Each structure stands twice: as C-alpha cells, then as structure tokens.
Amino acid sequence: MPTAVTKRDSIVSSALSLFADRGFDATTIPMIATSAGVGAGTIYRYFENKEVLGNTIFQEYVKKFTETLEDGFPSDESIRNQFHHIFKSMVRFTSTQHQALYFIKTHSSAHFLTEESHASFQGLLNILKNLFDSGKKKKKIKMLPTSALIAIVYGSFLEVQRLVQIGELELEAQLLAEIEESMWDAVRLIV
Amino acid sequence: MPTAVTKRDSIVSSALSLFADRGFDATTIPMIATSAGVGAGTIYRYFENKEVLGNTIFQEYVKKFTETLEDGFPSDESIRNQFHHIFKSMVRFTSTQHQALYFIKTHSSAHFLTEESHASFQGLLNILKNLFDSGKKKKKIKMLPTSALIAIVYGSFLEVQRLVQIGELELEAQLLAEIEESMWDAVRLIV
DNA sequence: CTAACCGGAATGAACGTTCATTCCGTTTTA
DNA sequence: TAAAACGGAATGAACGTTCATTCCGGTTAG
C-alpha cells in the first residue's frame, strides 16, 4: 500500500508494485484496488481498462528512465565518460525505482503492449545506440552490431539488478565501479 | 502444432511453445489442447494441473540445458577453453531449443515455480559458478562476486538471444566468435 | 449563519465472460 | 469383449468491467 497524494498516483503506484511482483496477468483489478485503497470502479475513472493501465504505467516509467539517462549527458566528453554517465544513471534510476526497472524488464515484450509502448522503449535503447555508434566511429568500441552491444550491456545490467533485488548482491561504490569496468571491457575495443 | 510421437510429448511441446510465446498466465488449457490436437481432459491424464505442467516443463528443459553444458566439458583444459565450451553449448542448446531458452528466461522467477524448480535452475547456474570460482583462483577471472560474473554473462547471453529470436541478429560463425570474445572480455582479468 | 441543494467523484454489488478442472459417453487397445 | 484412454461438453470459481447508488465539498436560498 504505497503512499501517494492523489488517487491516480495511488493506483499507479500500487499497480506498478503488483505488476513487478506478480506480473501483469497474475494481477487482478480487485488486488490493485485493495492495495491502492480505492474501489474497483474508481480505477476505471482514471484508466479505460486494464491494458490501458498497463501501457500507461509502462510508458510513464520508460519515460522517467529515458530522462534519467539524458539528464546531464556529457555530449562533449569522451566515450568512456559518456558510458560512465549512462551506467551511473542506470544505477541511479534503479535505486530509486527498482520496481519500475523490474516491471519494464519483465514486460518489455509483453503481449498487451501497444505500438506506442514499444516505440517508447525503443527510444530508451536509442540512447545506448547513439553512444555505441559514435564510439565505433572513434574506434573506441568493438565493431559488433550496435544491437548486440546494447544487448550485452543492457542484459548484464538487468541480471545484476535482479541479484540486487533478491538481496544476493549489495552495490557499494567499489563493487559498482568494478561492474562498470567489466561491462566497459565487454564493449570497448581492446587493442 | 509441433510434431510429437506420444500425446504427452505433444502436450509438452505445444505448451512450451505457447508458454514461450504468450507466457504461462496468458496461455489457457484449451489453447494447449487444441495446439496439441488432444482434448482438454486428456491433459489432466498426464499432468495433475496447470502448475504441475508448468513446473514439469520448466524442470525438463532446464535439465536438458544443464546436460548440454556438461556434455563434453573439458575439465582439464584452460579456463578460456572451458568458457568457450560453455558459450558454444549455450548457443547449441538455443539453436535447437530456442523456445525452451525463452521460456526458461521469462519464467525463471515466475510465481508458479516450486522450490524444486528453483533448485534445478540453480543447478544450471552452478556450472557457471564452478567455472568462475576456479578461474578466480587461477587469476584468470576478475575478482568480482561470482554471482555478479554469472549475471553479466548470462544476462548478456539472454538479451543477445532475444535479438536472434526477433530476427534482428543472425549468428553466423564470425559474429558468434566476436560476441564470445566480448563476454570473455567482460569477465577475464585484464592485466 | 444555517439549511437545503447540487454535481461529480467514488463505490462495490452484480453481470457476462472466460478459465481450469471434472465428468461421463465414446473410442481405442489388447 | 473388457479395460484403459480419450474427447469435449458441463461446471463452478474468478475475472474484468459496468452502473445504480452513495458520498462529500461547495454553492445557493432563506
């Protein structure tokens, strides 16, 4: 029963929590209503139906994630520094919104997502695409297909965060730096 | 409607396919029955209920995956060669069973899994654990927590395979070798 | 200042639908 | 021909969604 100011916020916050924990399909509207402390019908005053609720939340948090990565991006610095910014921002987003990351991770190819939701997710990955494309030009990044480079970094990151979530790993500064270095080693051109 | 000899095989094969495509919760028993070419009741002659079916399939394929990784493991060779064996085996398993990998990936922390299913999945990851533990002793692998090393390699691999599945990447030999090298760079101790 | 009124937000019981599971008549096997 | 296997209609529970009703803060009338 997350805290929230407005009823809409309360519904979104409860739904995110339940979707992340149990998955979209295994979460019922009455569950969300109870957790949000509202009547089931109230949810339909804010969202047309369950799928719209799912898509709205997905897009809302993908947008927040994207903005976190873009915020303060050091366009004029080295690829390595840009990579550091992205990594740091991903960690920052996750630490404040770990349910959101988990929801996005487990639902980014869910059956209920609309074209618009997919597009917003692509927008998120495009930040990595731009980084790697420019890095390849500058001979700093391996000449792998960009999609593969993204998969390697994003996939690693998701699994590491899963460990954090289940309490198997605690990310203090030293470890964080080493994991960043490991991911950087995966994508950097080693001469 | 996958081909199969026995009805049980047909049910397992259809269920795997549907679970991988739509997810466990969004797959109905009548769907599985139709796809397998059997009556809905017949499924209950072979599996106590839907959850048992899900767990059975999960464990069956995790076991196949584990066996694939263990088969021909070069215990006496270098860490690098052992890593190569694991990587090659993961690719081999995926190319013959890509639905299985996808099902395992998307359901490895699903709400319906029993303790036994979780244990069988841990057994799979243990192969990587042993490799990295011995590699760290020999100063060939980064001194990161083993769980983190596993997450980095396994996470990358899953995302790369997702690209393959959606047709965004085709893994011919050259590319495969480069991706293996990238993942190796992520975990190897760079001096 | 109080009381009656108003309108839209909120509610939750009820509806139709869909699901997992059961049951039993039919078909296949030995 | 007896027994086992099978199919798919039937069942009841649970779901998403609706809508008649209640609630409540603000406005108007006296």
Per-residue pLDDT at A4 exceeds 60: no
- Average pLDDT, whole number, for chain B? 94
The answer to whether A171 and A94 are in contact (CB under 8 A) is: no
The predicted-structure confidence for B80-131, as pLDDT tens digits, reads as follows: 999 999 999 999 999 999 899 999 999 998 999 999 999 999 999 999 999 9
B152 — contact with chain A (CB < 8 Å)?
yes
Claim to verify: residue A6 and residue A88 sit in the same structural domain = no
Claim to verify: residue A95 and residue A175 sit in the same structural domain = yes
In a mutagenesis test of the A interface, which of B152, B171, B180 is the best target, namely the one with the most A β-carbons within 10 Å? B152
- The residue in chain B having the minimum alpha-carbon distance to the alpha carbon of residue A177 is B144
The answer to whether A61 and A100 are in contact (CB under 8 A) is: yes
- What is the predicted pLDDT for the residue at A147? 97
* CATH code of the domain containing B118: 1.10.357.10
Total-model pTM: 0.91
Give residues lining strand C (CB < 7 Å): A 7, 37-42, 44-45; B 27-30, 40-41, 44, 49-51
Confidence band for A78, pLDDT divided at 50, 70 and 90: very high
Least Cα separation, residue B159 to chain A (angstroms): 5
Claim to verify: residue A85 and residue A169 sit in the same structural domain = yes
Claim to verify: residue B171 and residue B84 sit in the same structural domain = yes
Claim to verify: residue B21 and residue B96 sit in the same structural domain = no
Claim to verify: residue A37 and residue A68 sit in the same structural domain = no
**Which residue range(s) make up the domain with B177?**
54-187
B147 — contact with chain A (CB < 8 Å)?
yes
- The residue in chain B having the minimum alpha-carbon distance to the alpha carbon of residue A158 is B155
Per-residue pLDDT at A99 exceeds 70: yes
Nucleotides of D under 7 A from a protein CB: 5-10, 14-20
Claim to verify: residue A87 and residue A110 sit in the same structural domain = yes
Claim to verify: residue B11 and residue B98 sit in the same structural domain = no
Per-residue pLDDT at B4 exceeds 80: no
Claim to verify: residue B113 and residue B142 sit in the same structural domain = yes
Claim to verify: residue B106 and residue B162 sit in the same structural domain = yes
Claim to verify: residue A93 and residue A36 sit in the same structural domain = no
Least Cα separation, residue B35 to chain A (angstroms): 19
Structure-token pair, residue B160: 């790369």
- What is the predicted pLDDT for the residue at A80? 98
- What is the predicted pLDDT for the residue at A191? 85
- A-B C-beta contacts closer than 8 Å: 118
* CATH code of the domain containing B11: 1.10.10.60
Structure-token pair, residue B13: 């094969």
The predicted-structure confidence for B138-176, as pLDDT tens digits, reads as follows: 999 999 999 999 999 999 999 999 999 889 999 999 999
Minimum CA–C1' distance nucleotide for A42: C10
Tell me the mean pLDDT in the region A31-39.
91
Phi, psi angles (nearest 5°) of residue A169: -145, 140
Q: CB count, 10 Å around CB of A9?
A: 14
- In eight-state DSSP terms, residue B141 is B
Query: Which chain B residues contact residue A147 at CB under 8 A?
Result: 163, 168-169
Claim to verify: residue A39 and residue A95 sit in the same structural domain = no
State the total domains in chain B.
Answer: 2
- What is the predicted pLDDT for the residue at B47? 96
Q: To which residue do tokens 């992340």 refer? A: A20
Confidence band for A47, pLDDT divided at 50, 70 and 90: very high
What percentage of chain B reaches a pLDDT higher than 70?
97
